[in-house]
Structure 1
């Protein structure tokens, strides 16, 4: 069963991606900060969500 069809696995994937984006922004902020719009802007937004919850 795919993670998209299992709600608990989908939440886990979303949480892990937010944590990964936050870690990448902490170690290399220029990599995430230069992509604030478009599809790659999701990584910037995920990093911001991760920072506010820490």
Structure 2
């Protein structure tokens, strides 16, 4: 089944995108900053912002999703 049709998988994909974008932005900030005002690629910059500003909640969500994966 596609990750778009399964809610749990969709949440995992979004969470992994947030974590990946945050990591890329901390390593190479100019890579995402140049597309900040772009319509489609600006979403990655926004995900990096979510990961930076809500990092305790994102890390807690990562831990919960990991426990969920181990239990299933």
Could you tell me which runs of 5 or more consecutive residues in structure 1 were left unpaired when the two chains were aligned.
none
Q: What is the aligned length?
A: 54
**Rg larger for:** 2
RMSD: 0.5
Task: Give the TM-score normalised by structure 2.
Answer: 0.73
By percentage of residues, which structure has more helix?
2
Alpha-carbon distance in 2 for matches of 1:13, 1:52: 19
Question: Which structure is higher in RCO with an 8 Å CA cutoff and minimum separation 6?
Answer: 1
Task: Give the TM-score normalised by structure 1.
Answer: 0.96
